[in-house]
């Protein structure tokens, strides 16, 4: 039995990717502890979830975003997490997201194997809201350099997407390769048994569910839906937290639409939130990065496993996967007419059996690679 520690800079309340991996390891006979940064100090400091120990570090209230206060909080968490790792002496530490990657060098010096699980491209977040501002571009380059410098200290790199064919649209795996390293792909697809089919209710309804980091998507959705004849407009279900959540809710309150609004939600709410939904909207401003670089948003897969098709960005990897797997319709960004047409097209889709689910081969390859480091 191996002793595994996972580090993540959110509260893991829950983090589906982190807990999915942790459950796999527990089922395989390993001991897993997740050290999480509860920035708002809103959750229990200690919790056991399906045999996984979750330790939440309460280090004062710290914001998300790109501020100096955020950076100070992350530094404090890294110091606290490093101390916890030194006391526990694990066989393996999984650094979830680039904010925990700087610990890999110090951990390896102590003989601890390290994995970097790159959920997304951290440096692209610095550009959200103002991608052309000089200070944002400088911050983005600095963060990218920091990530590249730390990569050699990881024994294994895992990421969330890769090109589906050689020469096809790139995923994050290809970005790691451009940095001179190899990466294993483990997509953010739900496990069997963690969802149920959505229940229809006869109301024409679309949904935007997830963290709200900017206002570009809400503005596009409002423009598209209000352009439709009033008697043909769907109900809009909007749920999520994030740095732009309050401003987005204000936009919706001022729109001439029927809107069902919720704030933050947990993973266990997803079944309920998809009930009655005909189409999920998973559109993102490509100028902010990540999507243009080949990220695969989890909301596309969470909708698919519940039988709900999505409208996604065209011209990027997520669009190719949505159309090739029959789980969605790809749409040009910032084109309200195209979004209206895509919503109608998606509404007519019948998703294939087992749509969106985690492939067993992908899970098995990840577990084999992890257990190779524990051997």
Alpha helix (H) residue ranges in 28-121: 68-88, 103-109
Per-residue pLDDT tens digits of the chain, which is 375 residues long: 899 999 999 999 989 999 999 999 999 999 999 999 999 999 999 999 999 999 999 999 998 766 778 889 999 999 999 999 999 999 999 999 899 999 999 999 999 999 999 998 877 766 676 777 887 787 778 888 889 999 999 999 999 999 988 888 999 999 999 999 999 999 999 998 889 999 999 999 999 999 998 899 999 999 999 999 999 999 999 999 988 999 999 999 999 999 999 999 988 999 999 999 999 999 999 887 788 899 999 999 999 999 999 999 999 999 999 999 999 999 999 999 999 999 999 999 999 999 999 999 999 999 999 999 998
d(CA 51, CA 35): 14
Nearest Cα to Cα of residue 94 among 167, 143, 24 = 24
| DSSP annotation of 245 | H
What is the DSSP track for 273-296? HHTT-SEEEE---GGGSSTTTT--
Residue 307, sorted as left (phi over 0), alpha (psi -120 to 50) or beta, turns out to be left
Q: How far apart are CA 105 and CA 45, in angstroms?
A: 27
Cα 64 to chain centroid distance, Å, stands at 15
Which long-range CB contacts under 8 A does 164-169 form with residues at least 24 apart?
164/317, 164/320, 164/321, 164/324, 168/317, 168/320, 169/294, 169/316, 169/317, 169/320
- What is the rounded CA–CA span in Å between residue 203 and residue 244? 28
Let me know how long the chain is. 375
Domain 3-187+358-374: assigned CATH number = 3.40.50.2000
Residue 301 phi, psi (nearest 5): -75, -35
Tokens 């502890």 sit on residue: 33
Q: Give the list of residues 6+ apart from residue 226 with CB closer than 8 angstroms, or none.
A: 233, 255, 256, 257
Q: Report how far residue 108's alpha carbon sits from residue 373's, in angstroms, rounded to the nearest whole number.
A: 12
Q: Rounded to an integer, what distance in angstroms lies between the CA atom of residue 77 and that of residue 100?
A: 9
| Pairing outcome for strands 235-239 and 259-262 | parallel
367 vs 375: CA distance, rounded Å: 12
Are the CB atoms for 143 and 135 separated by under 8 Å? Answer: no
Q: What pLDDT shows up at residue 165?
A: 84
Residues of the chain with CATH 3.40.50.2000: 3-187+358-374, 205-347
Quick check: helix, strand or coil at residue 8? Answer: strand
The CA–CA distances, whole Å, from 56 to 38, 81, 162, 275 equal 6, 10, 31, 32
Neighbour order of strands in the sheet with 92-96: 46-49, 52-57, 31-37, 3-8, 92-96, 113-118, 156-159, 184-185
Domain 205-347, architecture per CATH: 3-Layer(aba) Sandwich (3.40)
pLDDT for res 66: 64
CB 282 within 8 A of CB 310: yes
Distance CA 322, CA 350 (A): 13
Q: For residue 15, what are the contacts with CB-CB under 8 A and spacing of at least 6?
A: 8, 36, 96
Rounded to 5 degrees, what are φ and ψ at 235? Answer: -70, 140
């Amino acid at each position: 039995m191996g002793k595994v520690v996972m580090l993540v800079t959110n509260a893991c309340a829950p983090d589906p990717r982190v807990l999915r991996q942790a459950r796999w390891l527990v089922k395989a006979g390993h001991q897993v502890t997740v050290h999480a940064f509860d920035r708002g100090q809103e959750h229990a400091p200690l919790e056991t979830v399906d045999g996984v120990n979750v330790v939440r570090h309460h280090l004062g209230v710290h914001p998300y975003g790109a501020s100096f206060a955020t950076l100070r909080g992350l530094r404090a968490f890294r110091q606290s997490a490093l101390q916890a790792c030194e006391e526990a002496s694990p066989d393996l530490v999984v650094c979830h997201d680039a904010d925990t990657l700087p610990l890999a060098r110090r951990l390896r010096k102590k003989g601890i194997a390290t994995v970097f699980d790159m959920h997304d491209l951290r440096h692209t977040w610095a550009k959200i809201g103002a991608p052309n501002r000089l200070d944002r571009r400088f911050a983005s380059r600095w963060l990218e350099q920091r990530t590249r410098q730390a990569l050699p200290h990881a024994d294994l790199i895992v990421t969330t997407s890769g090109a589906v064919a050689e020469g096809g649209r790139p995923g994050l795996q290809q970005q790691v390769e451009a940095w001179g390293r190899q990466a294993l792909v483990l997509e953010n697809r739900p496990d069997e048994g963690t969802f149920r089919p959505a229940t229809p209710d006869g109301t024409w309804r679309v949904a935007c569910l997830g963290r709200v980091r900017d206002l570009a998507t809400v503005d596009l959705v409002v423009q598209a839906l209000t352009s439709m004849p009033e008697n043909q407009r769907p109900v809009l279900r909007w749920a999520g937290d994030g740095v732009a959540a309050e401003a987005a809710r204000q936009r919706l309150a001022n729109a001439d639409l029927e809107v069902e609004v919720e704030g933050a939600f947990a993973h266990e709410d997803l079944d309920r939130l998809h009930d009655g939904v005909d189409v999920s909207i998973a559109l993102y401003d490509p100028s902010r990065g990540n999507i243009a670089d080949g990220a695969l948003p989890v909301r596309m897969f969470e909708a698919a496993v519940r039988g709900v098709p999505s409208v996604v960005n065209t011209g990027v990897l997520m669009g190719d996967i949505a159309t090739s797997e029959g789980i969605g319709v790809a749409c040009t960004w910032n084109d309200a007419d195209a979004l209206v047409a895509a919503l109608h097209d998606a509404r007519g889709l019948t998703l294939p059996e087992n749509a969106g689910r985690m492939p067993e081969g992908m899970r098995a390859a990840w577990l084999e690679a992890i257990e190779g480091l524990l051997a």
